[in-house]
Every structure is written in structure tokens, then in C-alpha cells.
A and B are shown apart, each in its own frame.
Chain A
């Protein structure tokens, strides 16, 4: 089933056009990887999906992005509610300078998701368990989140993202600052999370895209060159530019 349907999406930074007529369907409860060289527009596209581009003054987004039959670019869209439904995890782990517990409870608090302390405790515990971090930190919930290792911080950020039960999780190079062990833990987590969430991941690691995703989109110079099942893209892509990129032939 299609979760996100983007139609004729153009993005401009001032006069410079960054994305050209992107039509990309994202399947529900699957992992979609977006790949392409630096500056190809993949992160820009990712940021369109929860209107993160709104915070850049000169950025203008055209076209439709339809989630649950609703165009999120419509004026009536409540961006706070939107970002509750569409969480995001960034390249560098960025926990709040607060305790581990507060990092996770922050979202549910502002969205009024818990009526009591015990309900909140439960949300925090479930989120940390889903992020595969609980066992490691359950005895130090009230220590600062910034004191954790890089891989743990990233899992804390994932716990924070899933605490508000988003339908979609956007990940912008979530493992680029992590070692191979922490990377494997995040990848395993992505595999688990797709049961309950639709995941879109931007990655520079082709091997990672191949490992974690079911669908892959290849961007180049602001265009979506090819989109299809990951195994097709990595075994027998249709477009020559896709093949040149994934085989390391890009001059």
C-alpha cells in the first residue's frame, strides 16, 4: 500500500531549483532508501515530507505530497501535528541536554499523550525497548542523554522519535557518525521498526541501502532518475546513470 504519494514536487532555494518534478510513491511498512551523490536533492526531498524546509526562508516547495489522503503542503496543514505523525532522525545524534527519561518523554508531554506519571513511564520504557536501548540504560534513566556513546545517543534519538507513535520515520544518514557495531544495531532496529512504521532513509552507503531497504530511489542533479525494488536497482538497474553511480563509475 502506498503511504506517501508525491506528485510533481519542485523545490527552489531562491532562484536555484533543487528538485525537478519528483513523483515518488513510498510504500507503507517498508524501508525506502534514497541514494545519490552529494547535492543531488535526496535530503531536500526527505525534508519535504515533514515540511522541514519551512524553516529555510528562501525555500519554496511546489507540488503535492499526499499522506493519508491529505496534501501536507495545503495551508490548512497543522505542521506540529504533521511532525508528530512524521518523525525524524538526523545524521549526528542530537539528544536534548536533558536526562534520558526527559529526552523520550518530551514529545509525549507536549502532545499530551499521557494522563499520569505511570502512563508516561510506560511510554518511555516501551520506546526505549523498541529502540533496543532499554537494557543498557534502564538503571540510569535520570542521567544526561548526552553522556551516552554515539550509537546509544542515536538510539535515544530514535526512541525519542518513536515515543509519539509516528506513522513515518525519516532518517537522514543515521549511521554516518557511528561505528560498524552501532550501525548494525541501528540497521537491525530499522528492520524491526518497519513493522509499525514506514521508514525513509537517506544514505551515502550503497551497501547500507542494499541491506536495509526494500525500495530504493536514485537522485541525481535534483531529479529522481530511477525508483524500484532494491534488489532490482542493485542487480540490474534500468538507467545507465543509476548503474554508473552504484558501480562507482561516476566521473
Chain B
């Protein structure tokens, strides 16, 4: 729903600006995740290094958004939809910041990985990550379009990501068992997989925020969960 503009134009501008910063920050996160995954599958160190370096930009957006939110609350006392805009911006920015950190961590590990990983491993990784990337894109679109239906869609799809994560974990564990020499790479890959799954979780958090922003209601019920995570390898 498109809202009528505020009578006070500077207030309207401040809210618009906050909204734009979330969108920009989300764009940087999408880019970081994309590059991080590409770096791991193509073993492209330049991409990995770029993600590590650019994380600072994402962190700065979080600080900026936090300041804007505090200013809006202190000086404008937002109500109703404006209040929800303000509060959800704060929460979404902190999830996006975590997504940036996780992408950075993936990239740091990528730089330590063997250049010739078995194909089945990279394929399993791509299966999870491409789904997570899709989720992240959808949720940023749903924020932009103020679409609660899209947010619900993303929220419900987290289950699928959990399943793919577990399949990927199983592949990595198999790889670890094959040879003691695989220990370093395998351990890093376990963390990488887990990080990708965590990005999916943060995306789901954002979905909950978008839903609240649009409807003023909380998404009810437990989060959909896939198969139980693997704690130790199969016996």
C-alpha cells in the first residue's frame, strides 16, 4: 500500500532515507554473499578478498541506520506504520550486518582452502547457497514492495534450506572420513556450510520483520524446521 506523504516534508525525507539505506545495505549483502560463494566454487581469491574488505561498508550502514532510528524516535516520535518502519529498520539492519559478517567468514576460510575441492562438495554447497541467495533476494524485494505474502513465502522456505544444509554436511563428513589429509579443508567446509545456513536464518528473521512492518501482526507459530541438524557423523 502506498502511503500519502507526510505534511512535514523533512520527516517524509528522513523516513525515505532510512528505507533507502536498508535497501542499499541489503544490496551490499547480496553482493557479498554472491561473491563469497563464487570465490569458493571457482577458488577466486580476488573475490574472497573483496568480500573481506567490503564488510566494512556494511558495518557502516548498520551504524548509520541505528543513528537514524534513534534520531527519528527522539525527534519525530513516529506512530503506527512509521513506528513499524523505524523499529523494523533497526532490527533488519542488525540481521543484514550479521549476514555481512558470515559472508566475510566464508571468504576468510575460502582463502585457506585447497584449490581442487571434489566436485560433489562444491555442488552440494552451491545447492544450499543458491537457495539462500534466492531467499535473500526475495526478502529484499518483499521489503521494497511491502509484500507480506512474499515474506511468508521466504519464511516457509527456510525448511528446505535446513534440509539442503544437512545433505551438504553429510557430504563434507564423508569427505572428512575419506582421508586424514582432508581434515583442514573439511573443517573449514563444515563452518562454511553452517555459515550459509545461518545466513538463511537471518533472512528468515528479516522475513518476520517485513511481515510485521506490513501487517502490524507477528508471524504466528514455530518457524518451519527441516530435518534435525547433524551433531556428529553417522555411526
Would you call A14 an interface residue if the criterion is a C-beta within 8 Å of the partner chain's C-beta atoms?
no
- With a CB–CB cut-off of 8 A, which chain B residues contact A73? none
B79–A244 touching, CB < 8 Å: no
Q: Please provide the chain A residues from 176 to 235 with a CB less than 8 Å away from any CB of chain B in the complex.
A: 206-207, 210, 234-235
Would you call B216 an interface residue if the criterion is a C-beta within 8 Å of the partner chain's C-beta atoms?
yes
Q: Tell me the minimal C-beta distance from A114 to chain B in angstroms.
A: 46
- With a CB–CB cut-off of 8 A, which chain B residues contact A243? 3, 80-81
- With a CB–CB cut-off of 8 A, which chain A residues contact B117? none
- With a CB–CB cut-off of 8 A, which chain A residues contact B6? 247-249
Task: Determine the distance from Cα of A9 to Cα of B3 in the docked complex, in whole angstroms.
Answer: 32
A251–B84 touching, CB < 8 Å: no
Would you call B4 an interface residue if the criterion is a C-beta within 8 Å of the partner chain's C-beta atoms?
yes
A249–B79 touching, CB < 8 Å: no
A236–B84 touching, CB < 8 Å: yes
Q: Tell me the minimal C-beta distance from A180 to chain B in angstroms.
A: 14
Contact of A246 among B5, B11, B80, B217 (CB under 8 A): B80
A244–B216 touching, CB < 8 Å: no
- With a CB–CB cut-off of 8 A, which chain A residues contact B114? none
- With a CB–CB cut-off of 8 A, which chain B residues contact A246? 79-80
A-B contact count (CB 8 A): 44
- With a CB–CB cut-off of 8 A, which chain B residues contact A242? 80
Q: Is the interface of B mostly helix, strand, loop or mixed?
A: loop
- With a CB–CB cut-off of 8 A, which chain B residues contact A244? 3-4
B11–A248 touching, CB < 8 Å: yes
How many of chain A's residues have a CB under 8 angstroms from any CB in B?
Answer: 16
- With a CB–CB cut-off of 8 A, which chain B residues contact A237? 80
Contact of B216 among A206, A210, A236 (CB under 8 A): A236
B7–A235 touching, CB < 8 Å: no
A234–B7 touching, CB < 8 Å: no
Q: Tell me the minimal C-beta distance from B218 to chain A in angstroms.
A: 11
Task: Known contacts A207-B77, A243-B80; decide if A249 and B5 are in contact (CB<8 Å).
Answer: yes
- With a CB–CB cut-off of 8 A, which chain A residues contact B4? 244, 249, 251
Would you call B27 an interface residue if the criterion is a C-beta within 8 Å of the partner chain's C-beta atoms?
no
Q: Tell me the minimal C-beta distance from A33 to chain B in angstroms.
A: 13
Chain B residue nearest to A234 in the complex (CB): B79
Would you call B78 an interface residue if the criterion is a C-beta within 8 Å of the partner chain's C-beta atoms?
yes
Task: Known contacts A207-B77, A235-B216, A236-B216; decide if A248 and B7 are in contact (CB<8 Å).
Answer: yes
Q: Please provide the chain A residues from 156 to 185 with a CB less than 8 Å away from any CB of chain B in the complex.
A: none
Would you call B82 an interface residue if the criterion is a C-beta within 8 Å of the partner chain's C-beta atoms?
yes
Q: List 6 other contacts, CB 8 Å, given A206-B79, A244-B4.
A: A234-B79, A235-B79, A236-B84, A243-B80, A243-B81, A249-B4
Q: Return the 10 tightest CB-CB contacts between A and B, nearest first.
A: A236-B216, A249-B4, A246-B79, A243-B80, A247-B82, A234-B79, A248-B6, A247-B80, A248-B7, A249-B6
What would 8 A/B residue contacts be, using CB atoms closer than 8 Å?
Answer: A236-B80, A236-B216, A237-B80, A246-B79, A247-B6, A247-B80, A248-B6, A250-B7
